Every structure is written in C-alpha cells, then in structure tokens.
Amino acid sequence: MVARSLRPEGTESAAPTLSDISLPIALGLLIMMYPVLAKVRYDKLDAVTGDRRLMSSSLVINWLIGPAVMFALAWIFLPDLPEYRTGLIIVGLARCIAMVIIWNDLACGDREAAAVLVALNSVFQVLAFGLLGWFYLDLLPGWLGLGDGQHLDISAGKIALNVVIFLGIPLLAGFLTRRLGERRLGRQRYESAFLPKIAPWALYGLLFTIVILFALQGKMITSEPGDVARIALPLLAYFGLMWFGTFALGKAIGLAYDRTATLAFTAAGNNFELAIAVAIATFGVTSGQALSGVVGPLIEVPVLVGLVYVSLAWRKRFTASAREGMARRA
C-alpha cells in the first residue's frame, strides 16, 4: 500500500507562509513562546550550563536515542507505507524548539534549563539534521536490506533560518523584555505585576495554533482517517517511550524534579515546524510525508498535555522523597 496525495490538484493552501510554515501558525508559535521566555532569569543560566549531567543527557537522548527510536517505530508500525514512514522519521530528526517551552512551564519545570537545552539542541539541529537525515533515510535502510532510501533536499541555511525564526525571535524579545522591564520596574515589580499580565498569552498562542492547524489541515486528515490512525500509533508509542524513559533517567542520575521534567519534555517534544517545512519542500504539500508531519503536532499536543498532569502528580513524590532524605540525614 502506498500513501496517496490527499488533496485534489490545485487545492494547495494559498495562505501566506513563513519559512514554509503557514503564517498564522508561525504567529501563534511566536506569541506562545514570548511570555515564557520573558519569565526566564537570564542571569542564572550559568548554573544550568554547569550541570554536565543535564547537558550531556539531553544531547545523547535527543541526537542518539530519539531519532533511533522513531526510525524503529516507523518501520515496525508502517512497513507498507513508505511515504508516511519517511515523514515520521523526519519528525524524529527534528528535535525540540517551540512547544516544549510551554509544556515545561505548565509542568513547573526549570525555565532557565529549558531555555539552555532548547538553544543547545537548536545548534545541534543546524549541524546534525542533514547528516542524520542522510543516515536514517538513505544509508541505514540500505545497510539493513530494507529497500531503497530517500534523500532530503534541505540545506543547513534553511534549518538555521527555521531556528532563527522560531527560537531566535521570541528569545531575543523575551531577553530584551526582561532586561528593560527589570531596569524600569525592578525585578520584584516586573515579576509580580508585569509577567502576570502577559502570561495568559502563552496559552492563547497555543490554543490559536491548535485551532489553525485543524482549520488548515482538517480536510486532509478527515479524508483518510484509517491512515491517520496508523500514523498516530507510532507517534503515541514514541512520545510515551521518550518521556517516561527520560523522566526515569533524570531521577536515576539524581536530578531534582524541575530539571527532570525539563529533560523529559525536551526529549519528547519535536520541532514540527521544521519537520513540516522539510516534508513540504522535499516531497510536496500533498505528499504522505507532509501528512505525517501535520499529524505529529495534532497527536503531540493532547499527549503532552496529559503528560503535564502526570509530571505534576509525580512532583509530589519528588517532594516527599526529598523530605524523607533530609529527615534521614538529620
């Protein structure tokens, strides 16, 4: 069975785009990220960069384990659907950058750690995305005797532009807001008076992005519900394996709850903006690869919302364990 083009000829979206992403979606993402990045205390980032366990764990999970897990799941669940399979592998190669910041904030993770890990993985994304795409889509399938590989037509400059738009712009805006706001109001007034006013915009941006995704891609998704369900299964398995496995790792290596949650969400989240842009640029807007990229965030959003509640429930266990440890030492 081969994935089919799901839109009739001539029905491609005429909506304006930014880095191959619908402009309304891009605006929603930027609005969503800005308030969270304005909350970051940038003078405390040194404490994060000095945590070698956190930094090294994030790099290993995101660039060695994550792509390998998605590659395996894509082949296990979609051996007969090469277009969808390729689209899922692209999703697995596009690591965290945007929505992960809001999941981390909702779960009371470490904001400073999230900002550092997202920036770190964004640099690696520019350097490693093309190489890993060649390895998992072209070289490895041939080595394993799985058939002919695929080739991604994407440049490092295109990836860098994606990073600049979806991380650089809101990061710069958040940093300048923090610096100028503290200079004018002082830290206490900035955090107690100004931040509560802009905080709701993060959720507004998230809800707006979800609505626009459904509005723009609803016909594509509802036209082949069976295929969408098959794409959803490996995604569900991926998000579960990455989040629970990474959360367990964070606890095992002795990270506090806030950094454990940050590590887990940055491992499970994906840069769907880049995945969709690459799939459209390489295979076309009506391709099965593009459909996989679109289904990705529609599955990721409800799953990671659920994992936020799981994380908050486990936060109580971390607190109880820490108190018990202090009591024993006393």
Q: What is the mean pLDDT of residues 111-127?
A: 85
Task: Give the C-alpha separation, 32 to 201, whole Å.
Answer: 6
Q: What is the pLDDT of residues 201-215, one digit of tens each?
A: 877 887 887 777 777
Helices vs strands, H then E, count in the chain: 17, 2
Q: What is the mean pLDDT of residues 47-76?
A: 92
Q: What is the mean pLDDT of residues 152-171?
A: 72
Between CA 280 and CA 35, with CA 93 as vertex, the angle to 5 degrees is: 85
Give domain limits for the chain.
17-320
Q: What is the pLDDT of residues 9-61, one digit of tens each?
A: 443 444 566 555 667 777 887 888 788 788 888 887 777 888 889 999 999 99
Cα-to-chain-centroid distance, residue 52: 22
Eight-class DSSP state of 7: S
* Nearest by Cα to 98 from 274, 257, 230: 274
Task: Give the C-alpha separation, 286 to 188, whole Å.
Answer: 51
Helix (H) or strand (E) holding 119: helix 111-134
Task: Give the C-alpha separation, 276 to 282, whole Å.
Answer: 10
Report yes or no: 74 and 234 within 8 Å, Cβ to Cβ: yes
pLDDT score of 134 more than 70: yes
Task: Give the C-alpha separation, 2 to 4, whole Å.
Answer: 6
Q: Specify the pLDDT at position 153.
A: 61
Task: Give the C-alpha separation, 96 to 117, whole Å.
Answer: 9
Eight-class DSSP state of 40: -
Question: Could you tell me the pTM of the whole model?
Answer: 0.79
The fold for domain 17-320 equals Na+/H+ antiporter like fold (1.20.1530)
Q: Specify the pLDDT at position 234.
A: 96
Q: Which residue has the tokens 């004018």?
A: 184
The dihedral region occupied by 46, where left means phi > 0, alpha psi between -120 and 50, and beta the remainder, is alpha
